[in-house]
């Protein structure tokens, strides 16, 4: 194995001693991420002007109202389209890190701090992945920082798609998968990272990262088969690790996965367009420093020519640590084109069940950034090790620290070149995003309004539903919805009695109904879409002919307590609890058994 520039298996680069200090590294990440997001952090109530900012913020406000203001699990969203599933809608992130931060710090600060947290996690994940690939010191730091501030993530912020920041978790999942080839515990932790990605990112980062993990698994299985008998990873193990990761991720997120699966089954996401790009176009997105006009324009996936050149240097040095990330870099480039003209991986992936709706393949360029950053880290690491080795010989009489300092300084200088180029360009993009004042929050009784989907975040902020709406899934809307009703809950026929709202929350409505003495057939109608999960205790709920939610009323006076209570969520919660408790227990028992068998060390042999 050749690590150094001169073929010498060098010791770790001198800067490793600094980079490995967790407290120092996390301080660096926090400082870098804060600088990258700076204007947004100082003005948390300023949003972007892009339409998706409004759309996704609307869902965040709805989730906040349900979770924080009413203390309810946001399973139903009464603010969008006359009422649609929230936890079953892949476009939302009602439970996860973001929800937790908004609960702790309030809506706008929480949303902004979640961006910060994701960038910091991306930096540490990129660092740890590079570290796992044998890169250390400044090289590994470069890998983490360059990946987490790369253009596709800046593009997500510019476009107002905060869920795409879950891409920052991809290196963690990849790292755990690769470690999972030898250690089941790593595969379990990887499942947790994928679970968090699903809760935060939903529709896009989760399947794309899953595709990446699948390809890595296929490659590693091929290697294990090729080196059968000489490989410490059995050929079955990569797929077993991936399967276990998927099981843990699915189990932990069952409370969301089940309603999502149901909603996708009933109302599948539709995407007819199949966007494809030439390799030149994809590379232009990555290396041309132009302010991109769209998500496919030059510069939209920017990480820069300097990073690419430093990464190429690792290959020119014939450093074997660069082989694996370089191979994955090439595959991610092919995926990003979406064409059949090269390897044709993306069209093949789209042929798989569930993945037929994958779109925007250029997003795979984010993984290109990760692997390019890792390769660049290899080059920086190799320079530092090699230089240190030579300086140690040449400066044999000088204090050893001098050679270390000189080598680390040279590595830092090399690392700063691509990092400053990439992070400054993308940071400027991010800095220009936050120019639109957030909608004003108002406390008033909830009611449906005509609304306007282009200003989607206005309505839940005003505590109003918007009938004008857009969703990626064709959620059905009742034709009976109106945005001008005097009361959102009313008796039908109107002359049969009166209905008085006693309490309202996103997941529950209490209404006092008084029917006239001779009325035996009347319903309480709610100005929201029907959903099977609405129930009113012993009173039967039904969908009216116009699609509105209704409750058949008993004669006389009655108290109707409507609750959104989805059995899919309840079953999912039970499964999630079992996994969250059971998986650690499983590992603990396994560890104890191994400890007994081996007489001490419980760790699996690498």
Partner 1 sequence: MFEPASAEPEGVVSASAAVVDGPALVVNGRRPIALLPWLVPLGLAAVLAAMVLSAPEPPTLRTSGATRFGLSAAARSEAFWQIASHEPMWRLRAAAHFPDHPWSAEDDYHWNVLAHVHNEVAPALGVHTSAVWAVYDEGVRGAWRVAPPAGSPHRAGGVTAPLRPTVVPLRPRTQ
What span, in angstroms and rounded, lies between the C-alpha atoms of 252 and 266?
A: 23
- Nearer to partner 1 (CB atom), residue 416 or residue 455: 455
- Contact call for residue 420 and partner 1 (CB under 8 A): no
Whether omega before 340 lies within 30 degrees of 0, making that bond cis, reads: no
| Site for partner 1, residues 120 to 139, rule: CB under 8 A | 127-128, 131-134, 136
| Site for partner 1, residues 261 to 320, rule: CB under 8 A | 267, 320
Q: To which residue do tokens 């000189």 refer?
A: 406
SS3 535: strand
What span, in angstroms and rounded, lies between the C-alpha atoms of 93 and 342?
A: 36
> Minimum CB separation from partner 1 for residue 421, in Å?
25
> Minimum CB separation from partner 1 for residue 382, in Å?
12
> Minimum CB separation from partner 1 for residue 313, in Å?
18
Are 456 and 70 contacting, i.e. CB atoms less than 8 angstroms apart? no
Applying CB under 8 A, the span of 63-71, 337-345, 390-398, 473-481 interacting with partner 1 comes to: 473-481
Applying CB under 8 A, the span of 8-16, 207-215, 335-343, 351-359 interacting with partner 1 comes to: 8-16
- Nearer to partner 1 (CB atom), residue 442 or residue 502: 442
DSSP H or E run through 489: strand 489-492
Residue 455 CA: distances (Å) to CA of 63, 162, 213: 17, 17, 37
Nearest to residue 473, comparing CAs of 272, 201, 270? 270
- Contact call for residue 39 and partner 1 (CB under 8 A): no
What span, in angstroms and rounded, lies between the C-alpha atoms of 112 and 109?
A: 5
- Contact call for residue 242 and partner 1 (CB under 8 A): no
Q: Which of 32, 113, 248, 568 binds partner 1 (CB under 8 A)?
A: 113
Strands of 530-582 (E only): list them. 534-535, 541-543, 548-552, 557-564
- Nearer to partner 1 (CB atom), residue 246 or residue 450: 450
- Contact call for residue 88 and partner 1 (CB under 8 A): no
> Minimum CB separation from partner 1 for residue 338, in Å?
26
Are 519 and 555 contacting, i.e. CB atoms less than 8 angstroms apart? yes
- Nearer to partner 1 (CB atom), residue 43 or residue 70: 43
- Nearer to partner 1 (CB atom), residue 327 or residue 398: 327
- Nearer to partner 1 (CB atom), residue 299 or residue 451: 451
Q: Which of 225, 413, 545, 578 binds partner 1 (CB under 8 A)?
A: 545
Neighbours of 187 (CB within 10 A): 25
Are 151 and 426 contacting, i.e. CB atoms less than 8 angstroms apart? yes
Are 446 and 464 contacting, i.e. CB atoms less than 8 angstroms apart? yes
- Nearer to partner 1 (CB atom), residue 145 or residue 362: 145
Nearest to residue 387, comparing CAs of 317, 321, 320? 317
> Minimum CB separation from partner 1 for residue 186, in Å?
5
| Site for partner 1, residues 560 to 599, rule: CB under 8 A | none
**How many chain residues are in contact with partner 1, going by CB under 8 A?**
94
- Contact call for residue 358 and partner 1 (CB under 8 A): no
- Nearer to partner 1 (CB atom), residue 103 or residue 105: 105
What span, in angstroms and rounded, lies between the C-alpha atoms of 562 and 156?
A: 38
For residue 232, the 8-state DSSP code is S
Q: Which of 6, 8, 24, 428 binds partner 1 (CB under 8 A)?
A: 24
SS3 497: strand
- Nearer to partner 1 (CB atom), residue 198 or residue 324: 324
| Site for partner 1, residues 484 to 543, rule: CB under 8 A | 484, 529-530, 543
Ranges of H-type helices in 37-162: 38-42, 51-64, 97-105, 107-132, 137-148, 151-159
| Site for partner 1, residues 435 to 454, rule: CB under 8 A | 437-444, 447, 449-454
As a residue count, the chain comes to: 606
Applying CB under 8 A, the span of 28-36, 278-286, 409-417, 508-516 interacting with partner 1 comes to: 28-36
Applying CB under 8 A, the span of 62-70, 111-119, 247-255, 516-524 interacting with partner 1 comes to: 111-119
């Amino acid at each position: 194995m050749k690590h150094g520039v001169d073929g010498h298996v060098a010791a770790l680069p001198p800067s490793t001693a600094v980079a490995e200090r967790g407290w120092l590294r996390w301080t660096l990440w926090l400082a870098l991420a804060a600088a990258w997001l700076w204007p947004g952090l100082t003005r948390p109530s300023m949003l972007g002007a892009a339409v998706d900012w409004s759309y996704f913020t609307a869902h965040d406000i709805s989730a906040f109202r349900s979770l924080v203001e009413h203390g309810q699990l946001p399973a139903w969203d009464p603010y969008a389209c006359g009422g649609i599933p929230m936890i079953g809608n892949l476009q939302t992130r009602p439970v996860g890190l973001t929800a937790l931060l908004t609960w702790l710090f309030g809506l706008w600060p929480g949303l902004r701090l979640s961006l910060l947290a994701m960038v910091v996690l991306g930096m540490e994940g990129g660092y740890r992945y590079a570290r796992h690939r044998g890169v250390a010191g400044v090289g590994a730091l470069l890998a983490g920082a360059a990946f987490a501030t790369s253009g596709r993530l800046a593009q997500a912020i510019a476009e107002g798609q905060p869920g795409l920041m879950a891409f920052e978790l991809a290196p963690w999942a990849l790292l755990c998968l690769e470690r999972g080839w030898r250690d089941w515990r790593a595969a379990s932790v990887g499942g947790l990272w994928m679970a968090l990605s699903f809760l935060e990112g939903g529709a896009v980062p989760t399947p794309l990262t899953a595709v990446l993990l699948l390809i890595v698994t296929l490659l590693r299985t091929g290697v294990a088969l090729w080196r059968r008998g000489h490989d410490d990873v059995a050929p079955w193990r990569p797929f077993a690790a991936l399967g276990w990761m998927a099981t843990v991720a699915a189990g932990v997120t069952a409370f969301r996965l089940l309603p999502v699966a149901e909603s996708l089954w009933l109302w599948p996401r539709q995407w007819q367009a199949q966007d494809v790009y030439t390799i030149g176009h994809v590379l232009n997105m990555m290396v041309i420093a132009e302010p991109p006009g769209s998500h496919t324009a030059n510069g939209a996936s920017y990480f820069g020519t300097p990073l690419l050149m430093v990464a190429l240097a690792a290959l020119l040095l014939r450093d074997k640590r660069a082989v694996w990330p370089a191979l994955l870099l090439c595959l991610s480039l092919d995926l990003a084109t979406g064409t059949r003209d090269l390897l044709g991986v993306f069209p093949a992936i789209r042929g798989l069940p569930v993945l037929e709706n994958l779109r925007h393949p250029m997003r795979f360029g984010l993984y290109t950034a990760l692997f390019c950053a890792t390769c660049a880290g290899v080059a920086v690491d190799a320079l530092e090790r090699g230089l240190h080795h030579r300086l140690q010989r040449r400066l044999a009489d000088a204090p050893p620290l001098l050679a270390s300092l000189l080598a680390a300084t040279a590595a830092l200088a090399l690392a700063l070149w691509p990092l400053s180029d990439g992070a400054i360009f993308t940071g400027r993009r991010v800095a220009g995003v936050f120019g639109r004042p957030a909608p004003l929050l108002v406390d008033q009784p909830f009611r449906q309004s005509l609304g306007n989907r282009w200003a989607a975040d206005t309505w839940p902020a005003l505590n109003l539903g918007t009938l004008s709406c857009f969703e990626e899934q064709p959620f059905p809307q009742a034709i009976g919805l109106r945005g001008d009703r005097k009361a959102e809950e009313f008796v039908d026929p109107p002359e049969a009695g009166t209905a008085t709202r006693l309490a309202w929350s996103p997941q529950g409505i209490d209404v006092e109904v008084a029917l006239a003495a001779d009325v035996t057939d009347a319903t309480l109608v709610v100005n929201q879409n029907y959903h099977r999960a609405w129930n009113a205790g012993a009173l039967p709920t039904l969908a009216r002919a116009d699609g509105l939610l209704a409750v058949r009323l008993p004669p006389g006076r009655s108290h109707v307590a409507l609750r959104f209570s989805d059995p899919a969520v309840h079953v999912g919660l039970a499964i999630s609890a079992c996994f969250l408790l059971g998986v650690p227990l499983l590992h603990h028992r396994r560890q104890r058994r191994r400890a007994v068998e081996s007489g001490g060390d419980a760790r699996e042999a690498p």
